[in-house]
Amino acid sequence: MQAFQLRDYTGPDGLSRVDVELPLAAHGEIILRVHAIGVNFPDLLMIKGQYQHKPELPTIPGCEVAGTVINAPAGSGWKSGDRAAAFVWQGGYAEQVAVPLNSIVHVPDSVEFAAAAAMVVNYHTVLFALSHRGAVKPGETVLVMGAAGGIGTAAVQVAKGLGARVIAGVTDSGQAETATVAGATETILLRPGFSNEIRKMTNDRGVNAVLDPLGDWLSGEAIRGLATEGRLLVIGFAAGQIPEIKLNRLLLRNVSVTGVAFGAFLVGDHQLIGRQAEALDKMVASGTVAPHIGNRFRFDELPTALHALDRGEVKGKAVVIVVPDP
């Protein structure tokens, strides 16, 4: 089969399209024929050697796929031909991939594979962040930082699906347009002092939760915009630096910083992705959740897709099409 293999940790240019052997299913795994691949920031970090997970080379990266089941263990509830989407730690940049049973979900016939591949990492991560880790309740206010990216557009929709008021944080007017298309009704520019704008928008109360995939100086400014008992939900550090938080600011204002690592939690809770899929399916059915796919690439363009993500050129989510939908 064809796959993109990483030969060295030099980013997208370290990937080569090669012929490799078909994957073999270990105990408790399903073999999936890949129709679409989600393009994700953690993958970009991994192929640069900047992620906490650094596999031995050569390796096939890729953590988010959608497609059809080729074979499955007896009694697993899956059969050949079933439509599915999955999270994998690696191996997704290929025509077939082995998937653990605890990280695969059914894809309804009404959902195209590109949309399914755009949902697993981003939507499950933000639902885990907002609902499980952040305990966001209906009527609360959530600031979504980086609201024009894949994580951000997903968070806007999921927060609305949970009944929250959503403020989308972006860096320019073009990003504001993307966030609005994704469903945001209120936006602010993430510039120095943006916490003052948050205060104005919330009658000086602040927001109950901040979904933060950016880090850097923005995290500290976001903490200033938290309401009493507010939560900063740390997803990642796409803006560059990992921030240092002065704990006295948390103590004096009765606020908290909460880490969010969906993949790591999935290792210990094998039912998590199934429970979350049920909640997300309801949001899809209601029309609240619909992945904003800003860019589609062919399989041979996968390194190009990663370069585009690295340059900040992707609006919403980028998806690589391996097998076009009929």
Statement to judge: residues 136 and 44 lie in one domain: no
pLDDT 10s digits, 219-235: 999 999 999 999 999 99
Tokens of 255: 């606020």
Q: What percent of the chain has a predicted confidence (pLDDT) above 90? A: 69
Q: In this model, does residue 312 exceed pLDDT 90?
A: no
Range of the domain at 200: 122-263
pLDDT score recorded for residue 94: 97
List the one residue out of 289, 229, 302, 308 whose CA is nearest residue 108. Answer: 289
Tokens of 2: 């064809």
Query: Does some domain include residue 202?
Result: yes
pLDDT score recorded for residue 326: 67
Q: 3-class SS at 220?
A: helix
Tell me the average pLDDT across 94-106.
93
Q: Please state, in angstroms and rounded to a whole number, the distance separating the CA atoms of residues 22 and 81.
A: 18
Query: Does some domain include residue 286?
Result: no
Statement to judge: residues 181 and 113 lie in one domain: no
| pLDDT grade for 241, boundaries at 50, 70 and 90 | confident
Q: Which CATH number fits the domain that encloses residue 301?
A: 3.90.180.10
Q: Are 162 and 130 in contact (CB under 8 A)?
A: yes
Tell me the average pLDDT across 79-100.
94
Statement to judge: residues 83 and 107 lie in one domain: yes
pLDDT 10s digits, 173-207: 888 988 998 889 899 999 999 999 999 999 999 99
Torsion angles phi and psi, residue 287, rounded to 5: 90, 0
Q: Are 119 and 112 in contact (CB under 8 A)?
A: no
Statement to judge: residues 126 and 114 lie in one domain: no
Q: Are 5 and 20 in contact (CB under 8 A)?
A: yes
pLDDT 10s digits, 111-161: 899 999 999 989 999 999 999 999 999 999 999 999 998 899 999 999 999
Q: What are the CA-CA distances from residue 98 to residues 75, 101, 117, 323, 324 (Å)?
A: 17, 10, 16, 17, 21
Tokens of 90: 């690696």
Q: In this model, does residue 249 exceed pLDDT 90?
A: no
Q: Which CATH number fits the domain that encloses residue 156?
A: 3.40.50.720
- Whole-number mean pLDDT of the chain? 92
Residue 81 CB coordination number (10 Å): 9
Q: Are 201 and 184 in contact (CB under 8 A)?
A: no
Statement to judge: residues 205 and 315 lie in one domain: no
Statement to judge: residues 97 and 213 lie in one domain: no
Q: In this model, does residue 52 exceed pLDDT 80?
A: no
Statement to judge: residues 71 and 138 lie in one domain: no
List the one residue out of 61, 88, 50, 44 whose CA is nearest residue 5. Answer: 61
Top-confidence residue, 259 or 174: 259
Statement to judge: residues 87 and 143 lie in one domain: no
Statement to judge: residues 133 and 103 lie in one domain: no
Q: In this model, does residue 83 exceed pLDDT 70?
A: yes
Q: Are 44 and 79 in contact (CB under 8 A)?
A: no
Statement to judge: residues 228 and 308 lie in one domain: no
Tell me the average pLDDT across 272-292.
90
Query: Does some domain include residue 204?
Result: yes
By DSSP bridging, strand 207-212 and strand 141-145 are: parallel
Q: What percent of the chain has a predicted confidence (pLDDT) above 70? A: 100
Statement to judge: residues 91 and 131 lie in one domain: no
- Counting the structural domains of the chain, the total is 2
End residue of a domain, out of 244, 263, 282: 263
Q: In this model, does residue 85 exceed pLDDT 70?
A: yes
Query: Does some domain include residue 101?
Result: yes
Q: In this model, does residue 302 exceed pLDDT 90?
A: yes
Query: Does some domain include residue 316?
Result: yes
Top-confidence residue, 253 or 144: 144
Statement to judge: residues 16 and 35 lie in one domain: yes
Query: Does some domain include residue 152?
Result: yes
